[in-house]
Amino acid sequence: MRYSQMLIPTTRETPAEAEIASHRLLLRGGFIRKLTSGLYTFLPLGLLALQKVAAIVREEMNRAGAQELLLPMVQPADLWQESGRWQKYGPELLRFKDRHQRDYCLGPTHEEVITDLARRELRSYRQLPANLYQIQTKFRDEIRPRFGLMRCREFVMKDAYSFDVSDEAASKSYEIMREAYHRIFRRLGLEFRAVEADSGTIGGSFSHEFMVLADTGEDTLVICNGCDYAANVEKARVVLPPEPAEREEAAAMVKVATPGMKKVERVAEFLGTTPDRVIKTMVYLADGEPVAALVRGDREVQSVKLKNLLGADEVEPMPDDEIWKRTRLPAGYMGPVDITIRLVADQEVMGMVNAVAGANEKGYHLTGVNPGRDFRPDVTGDLRQVTADDRCPECGAALTLTRGIEVGHIFKLGTGYSEAMNATFQDSDGTEKHFVMGCYGIGVSRVVAAAIEQNHDEHGIIFPLPLAPFQVIVLNLGVNNEATCRAAEQLYNDLRAAGLEVLYDDRDERPGAKFKDADLIGIPYRVTVGRTWEKEGRIELRSRATGETSTMEYADAAGRISAMIRDELAARQ
Ligand code: ATP
Ligand code: MG
C-alpha cells in the first residue's frame, strides 16, 4: 500500500480526552476516530490491525474444531424473557421497539440466540459435541465508556458456545477452549495470564479470564509466587491463618464517646488501639435491600464476593445520606450490635476478640465487642479483598498483586440456559436431556488496545509482528532523486512479491516526518532507501522493537527481510 494513497491522519498533538497510552496512540496514529461516547470508527490502519487479531482467533477456533456462523445483532425480547435476563441484565442492555411495538435489544452477548438455535437444530446426541462461534459487533450501554477501544459501547467480540451431552463432556470442551486461548494469546505475542474468575451476569459455575499484563489494566490479579495459582481479586480466596493458641479473655462491652471520629484510623488512635482491632461496618444496597458488611478495620470489602455470598444480582455501596434516610444508621458510627438490617460478616471478623465497633449512635463507639456473644451475623464467609500480605490458598506461598486487562473470558455454564429455555436433545438411551453448555469470549477490538498498552514507548506503538497492520514500512528518502525513487519502488514490489505486507512511504515529506510517523504507527520493520543507497548501494533495516539497525546490499534485501519475517512468525506458531 502506498502511504500517499492511504488515509492515515496522524497528529502530533496529544488528544486531551485520552488518559492511557493505547487510546492516545490509536488516535494520534490515525487508527480510530471517535463518533460519540463509546462509538469509534476504525480507519484503514485500525481495521487492518483488527483483522489481524480476528484472523488468528479464527484460525485457532477452527483448529480447535469450532464452526463459524453469524447470528443477528438485533435480538427479540421474548428469548431474553425466557432466560430471565430481560429483567436481570440492567441498563447495559439497549432495548428498543420496532414499528409493531415489539421489544428488542442489541446483542451484548448471544447465549439466548444460540440456545434457541441449538434447541431447533441440534436434536440428537450424534450431533454433539458442537461448538459454534462468531466474530461480531456487540453493543453494551456501558455506564462509563472510556480508554478508547478498551471499554466501548460498540465493540468487536468473538463469542463461542459449546453444547455437550454431559458435564464430563462439557469439561472436555472447556479444556479445548482453554488451550486454544493460550495458543491465541501466545501467537499474538502478548504477555498474559489465565486467572480464576467470577462468572458475572453471564452466569455459570466456573470460569477463567485471560489477562494481558499492563499497569493501566482495570483488573487486579493475584499471582502465586510458588505455584500455578492465579486469580482475579474478585475471586481470590482468602485463607485464615491458624487460630492463636491463647485467646484474650472477653471483656465487658462499654460505650465510649468518640466525637467526630468517623474514620477507622482516627477511632483506633483515639482509643489507643490499632485498625486491625476495629470492626468496619459498610452498608450496601443488594438488589434494593440495605445490608451491612463487616470486615476488619484494615481490610476492604470485595463487592463481588459480597454479591456472591448474598446470592444477589447487584450490589452497590450506599451513599451516607441514603443510609440515614432508609435505615437511620449514622455513617461513621455504625456497628453490628443491635443493628436493624441484614448483617454479613467476613470470616476473619468472627475471630476478633474485644473489638471496637460503632454504637449506631452519632458520636459513640463500643469497646469490648465480641462476635457470637454481642452479635450474630445472618451470613458469614470470605468477604474481603486479598492483600499482598495474604498467602496462596493452594500452597501457602507469598502472593504478588498485579494489574491486567481482560481480553478473554471462558465459562462453564452448565444447564442454566438450556433448562430456562428448555433446550434438549435426544440422548443415546432415547431420553430428552438438557444441553450442558459453555461460552467463550474474546474482546477482539480490546486486544488491539491491550497489545498497544503493553507495547509502546515515547515515540509511539511497537506492534508485535503478528498483529501489525503492516510488517514492513519502506521509506523513500530521496523523493526528488529519480534513481532513488525507482530503487525504493522496486524494493516495495519485491517485498510484496515475497508475500510480505508492506507500506510504502512515497510521500513528498521530509525524512524527519517520515521517521516520526513510522515510529508512531509502530510498523515492526523499517527499511530506508536514501543516502546510503545513493552512495554505497546499501539499504538500512531497523527493528521498531529493539531499535537495532543494520545495513545490507540492496540486491539481497528483499530475500533477507522476507526470510527473517517468515522465521519470526513461524517461531510463534
Ligand atoms: P468487563 O469486566 O471488562 O466489563 P465482561 O466480563 O463484561 O468484561 P465478557 O462478557 O466476558 O466481558 O465479554 C467477553 C470479552 O469482551 C471480555 O473479555 C472483553 O475482552 C470484551 N469486552 C467486554 N466488554 C467490553 C467493552 N465494553 N469494550 C470492549 N471490549 C469489551
Ligand atoms: Mg462488562
pLDDT per position as a tens digit, 304-353: 999 999 999 889 999 999 999 999 999 999 999 999 999 999 999 999 99
Query: How far is the centre of ligand 2, averaged over its atoms, from the C-alpha of 460 (Å)?
Result: 28
What pLDDT sits at residue 81? 98
- Do 60 and 181 share a structural domain? yes
CATH code for the domain of 367: 3.90.960.10
In a domain, 216, yes or no: no
Instruction: Give the chain's domain count.
Output: 3
- Do 152 and 26 share a structural domain? yes
- Label residue 206 by pLDDT band (50, 70, 90): confident
Count CB atoms within 10 A of the CB of residue 294. Answer: 30
Asked whether 160 and 61 are in contact (CB, 8 A), the reply is yes
Condensed to tens digits (0 to 9), the pLDDT of residues 236-281 reads 999 988 888 888 899 999 999 999 999 999 999 999 999 999 999 9
What pLDDT sits at residue 205? 58
- Residue of the CA atom closest to atom 18 of ligand 1: 408
- Label residue 510 by pLDDT band (50, 70, 90): very high
- Give CA–CA dist 349/335, Å, rounded: 12
- Given a cut of 70, whether residue 546 has pLDDT beyond it is yes
Residue where a domain stops, chosen among 453, 478, 504: 453
For the CA of 447, the nearest atom of ligand 1: 20
Query: Which among 548, 519, 553 has a CA at the least distance from the CA of 536?
Result: 553
- Do 424 and 542 share a structural domain? no
H-helix segments, 297-354: 303-310, 320-327
Residue 166 gets which letter from DSSP?
S
- Given a cut of 80, whether residue 536 has pLDDT beyond it is yes
In a domain, 400, yes or no: no
Query: Could you give the 3-state DSSP secondary structure of residue 345?
Result: strand
Ligand closest to Cα of 200 equals: 1
- Give CA–CA dist 499/561, Å, rounded: 11
Condensed to tens digits (0 to 9), the pLDDT of residues 448-501 reads 999 999 999 999 999 999 999 999 999 999 999 999 999 999 999 999 999 999
User: Ligand 1 pocket by C-beta < 6 Å: which residues?
Assistant: 109, 140, 142, 151-152, 155, 157, 200, 202, 406-409, 441, 443, 445-446
- Residue of the CA atom closest to atom 26 of ligand 1: 151
- Given a cut of 60, whether residue 202 has pLDDT beyond it is no
- Residue of the CA atom closest to atom 2 of ligand 1: 406
- Give CA–CA dist 152/446, Å, rounded: 9
- Do 428 and 490 share a structural domain? no
Query: How far is the centre of ligand 2, averaged over its atoms, from the C-alpha of 309 (Å)?
Result: 20
- Do 175 and 70 share a structural domain? yes
How distant, in Å, are the alpha carbons of 5, 265, 275, 376 from that of 334? 67, 15, 15, 15
- Do 163 and 21 share a structural domain? yes
What pLDDT sits at residue 198? 82
Query: How far is the centre of ligand 1, averaged over its atoms, from the C-alpha of 181 (Å)?
Result: 15
In a domain, 66, yes or no: yes
In a domain, 5, yes or no: no
- Do 26 and 170 share a structural domain? yes
In a domain, 171, yes or no: yes
CATH code for the domain of 98: 3.30.930.10
| Interaxial angle between packed helices 44-63 and 167-187, expressed in degrees from 0 to 180 and rounded to the nearest 10 | 140
In a domain, 228, yes or no: no
How distant, in Å, are the alpha carbons of 78, 114, 385, 455 from that of 501? 47, 37, 47, 20
Query: Which among 262, 380, 258 has a CA at the least distance from the CA of 323?
Result: 262
Ligand closest to Cα of 202 equals: 1
Asked whether 156 and 73 are in contact (CB, 8 A), the reply is no
- Do 283 and 175 share a structural domain? no
Condensed to tens digits (0 to 9), the pLDDT of residues 13-67 reads 888 889 999 999 999 999 999 999 999 999 999 999 999 999 999 999 999 999 9
- Do 166 and 21 share a structural domain? yes
Residue 64 phi, psi dihedral angles, 5° rounding: -85, 5
Q: What is the mean pLDDT of the chain?
A: 95
In what side-by-side order are the strands of the sheet with 103-106? 74-76, 103-106, 95-97
Count CB atoms within 10 A of the CB of residue 316. Answer: 10
- Do 162 and 60 share a structural domain? yes
How distant, in Å, are the alpha carbons of 188, 261, 277 from that of 269? 52, 10, 11
CATH code for the domain of 483: 3.40.50.800
What pLDDT sits at residue 201? 56
In a domain, 401, yes or no: no
Count CB atoms within 10 A of the CB of residue 529. Answer: 27
Q: Where are the beta strands (DSSP E) in 82-234?
A: 95-97, 103-106, 130-139, 154-164, 192-196, 206-213, 219-224, 230-232
- Residue of the CA atom closest to atom 25 of ligand 1: 151
- Residue of the CA atom closest to atom 21 of ligand 1: 443
Condensed to tens digits (0 to 9), the pLDDT of residues 368-398 reads 999 999 999 999 999 999 999 999 999 999 9
- Do 142 and 258 share a structural domain? no
Residue from 106, 157, 198 whose mutation best tests the ligand 1 pocket (most atoms within 8 A of CB):
157
Rg (CA), the chain: 29
- Residue of the CA atom closest to atom 12 of ligand 1: 409
Q: Which domain holds residue 357?
A: 254-381
Mean pLDDT of 86-90: 91
For the CA of 411, the nearest atom of ligand 1: 11
Ligand closest to Cα of 406 equals: 1
In a domain, 8, yes or no: no
What pLDDT sits at residue 416? 95
- Do 183 and 101 share a structural domain? yes
What is the helix, strand, coil percentage profile of the chain, to 5?
30, 30, 35
Condensed to tens digits (0 to 9), the pLDDT of residues 392-415 reads 999 999 999 999 999 999 999 999
Residue 350 phi, psi dihedral angles, 5° rounding: -65, -20
